[in-house]
Amino acid sequence: MKIKILSICVLLISMSIFSQKKSKTLVTINEENITVADFKRVYEKNLDAIDNKEAKDVTNNLELFINYKLKVKEAYQLKLDTLPSYKKEIETYKNQLAAPYLQDTTFLDKMVKDVYFRVKNKVKAKHILIRTAKDARPKDTIKAYNKILKIRNRILAGEDFEKVAQETSEDNSARDDAKSGRKGNKGNLGYFDAFKMVTPFEDAAYNTKVGQVSKPFRTQFGYHILKVDDLKPSEGEIEAAHILILDTTDVGKKKIFEVYEKLIVNNSFEELAKQYSEDNGSKNRGGKLGKFGTGRMVKPFEDAAFSLQKEGAFSKPFKTRFGWHIVKLIKKHPVKPFKELEKELRNKIKNSARMQMSETAVINKLKATYNILENEAAKKILDRKNIRAIPKDSLQIMMFSINDKKIKQEDFIDYIKNRRNQPIFTLFEMFKNQEILTYYKENLVNTEPEYAYILKEYEDGLLLFELMQDKIWNKSTKDTLGLQNYFEKHKANYSSRKLEDNKGEVMNDYQNYLEKKWIADLRKKSNIKIRKRQLKKLIKYYN
């Protein structure tokens, strides 16, 4: 990567754009004043890593700093910062650098603790669902909300939750299926813990007290209510193995009990699994299923596996809809302490949809801070059916503003052009949130000094890379005559009298020669003034 090369060819010196008010000017390059604080920040950055006294010399480092500044100024004068490749890379880096600022750390810390509680404690719940389409209009969502509210009132009035779930829930698993003979679960979901359900559902389950019915809440599937039946400590995860006979009739039952009798007389579980199990995915591994927690297996299997207390113990034969099983407990994995799980949970949250909640918390804070004004007259285009076909010259009215930034109707139409899977009013809120974040990111250089320092360092370093390529590296490669002349003048410094035998070493020396000559030219045409009094104070301070 370019940045790795930069770390070799420059000292990664940065110019502070947030100089301390009381800091004195140390050096002036043309009309630019560089303060003591600016230089100290750069100098101290790599001080601990230097064990060479000469390399720590303040005066030498100031000279290198001046050279760096001269090169960067040259790059800006040559307008290398306008190159498309440079702009693209800087934009990518800005997004990476801004990412931590788009997280509400307090909110994230609380989320990690909440998730750990949910890992340690599993909840048992049942629910009723009234579906809504992803692109449902407000009147349709209100209709669904009123429907689930009436259902909740029936339950609060004393009707049985499971009976009402069978009758009204639009989750098909709640009702019996006559065709397949499947029995409905009456809304029962069994036990689950963190990351097993979509986040709004999980939140509602853990925020509802045992025995109570939640208020209506919405997920991507529609509106729900749920009733919490139990909350208890999680057993963690287990490793288990099983032997499966697929035949669910008495023939299968007889066969599984024959295998069980063999186990009783000390036959190897693994060998019997390889010989008799009809689970092709696990039989060759001795029936091993790997590690799993609650909510991963069908309930009869889960109950049998988690009821085993001693590692190495196996169950009596039992039946699920898949067939007849015998399950063996290989190892228990209790929930780890918070300190051991914290990093894993934090990363899991960052890679999940929950991270949007942290971003939403940031947006809500910004909304409270910024002066955001919406133009209701301009927003009337949201009601037009052909909104994406409106001519651009008719879309020049300000739709809303964020402080001093004005966003036109045209900007919104560009945003929704290839977004057709969401209703317009939802897209508008998404667009507005995106613009708020964009405004925040654009102003980070004015509000976050550390961000500004690092970004400036990267911008200047990347420019210097482009400049060094043009002025030194590419020139030394292409200028074969210049390289030959340099070698002829300095033959005595090399072991061989032929350029080909010393090309790598000569090339390196020639590049250093070109750079020194170039620096000398830059210094000659620049007005450089060092404040000797401030330099002496610095030298005394570090000595």
DSSP 262: H
Indicate whether 2 pLDDT > 60. no
Comparison of pLDDT for 283 and 358, the residue scoring more? 283
Q: Which residue has the higher pLDDT, 430 or 176?
A: 430
- Range of weakest confidence among 80-89, 148-157, 290-299, 379-388: 290-299
| Highest mean pLDDT out of 23-32, 303-312, 476-485 | 303-312
Supply the mean pLDDT for the chain: 89
Is 492 within 8 Å of 32 (Cβ atoms)?
no
Q: What is the pLDDT of residue 212?
A: 97
- pLDDT tens figures, 31-82: 889 899 888 888 888 777 677 777 888 898 999 999 999 999 999 999 999 9
Distance (Å) of CA 354 to CA 139, 320, 364, 440:
28, 34, 16, 21
What's the confidence (pLDDT) of residue 289? 94
Confidence band of 22 (pLDDT split at 50, 70, 90): low
- Nearest one of 96, 87, 97, 98 to 463, comparing CA atoms: 87
Helix (H) or strand (E) holding 128: strand 121-131
| 133: number of Cβ within 10 Å | 11
**What whole-number distance in Å separates Cα of residue 484 and Cα of residue 499?**
7
Average pLDDT for residues 139-153, to the nearest whole number? 92
Q: What is the pLDDT of residues 392-428, one digit of tens each?
A: 999 999 999 999 999 999 999 999 998 887 888 889 9
Q: Compute how many other C-beta atoms are within 10 angstroms of the C-beta atom of residue 540.
A: 9
Cβ neighbourhood burial of 16 (10 Å; 0-12, 13-18, 19+): buried
| 105 vs 213: which has the higher pLDDT | 213
pLDDT band at 140 (very low <50, low <70, confident <90, very high): confident
User: Is 190 or 159 the better-scoring residue by pLDDT?
Assistant: 159
pLDDT tops 50 at residue 391:
yes
User: Can you tell me the mean pLDDT for 284-308?
Assistant: 91
Own/partner pairs for 89-93, CB < 8 Å, 24+ apart?
89/2, 89/462, 90/458, 90/459, 90/462, 93/455, 93/458
Cα separation, 515 vs 361, whole angstroms: 51
Secondary structure of 239-257 as H, E, C letters: EEEEEEECCCCHHHHHHHH
Q: Which residues have C-beta within 8 Å of that of residue 522, sequence separation ≥ 6? A: 67, 70, 71, 74
Alpha helices of 46-160 — where are they, by DSSP H? Answer: 53-56, 58-77, 84-98, 105-120, 138-156
Segment 420-452, tens digit of pLDDT: 878 888 899 999 999 999 999 999 999 998 899
> pLDDT at residue 16 above 50?
no
- Supply the DSSP string of 206-238, one letter for each residue: HTS-TT-BPPPEEETTEEEEEEEEEEEE---EE
Q: What is the mean pLDDT of residues 83-105?
A: 88
What are the angstrom distances between the C-alpha of 539 and each of 40, 55, 165, 375, 535? 11, 14, 80, 60, 6
At residue 510, the pLDDT reads 87
22, with CB counted inside 10 A (0-12, 13-18, 19+), is exposed
Looking at residue 213, its pLDDT comes to 97
Q: Tell me what percent of the chain is helix, strand and coil, each rounded to the nearest 5.
A: 55, 15, 25
526 and 29 Cβ atoms separated by less than 8 Å? yes
Q: What is the pLDDT of residue 134?
A: 74
Least confident of 24-28, 254-258, 329-333, 473-477: 473-477
3-state SS of 64-76 is HHHHHHHHHHHHH
How far, in Å, CA of 267 to CA of 182, rounded? 36
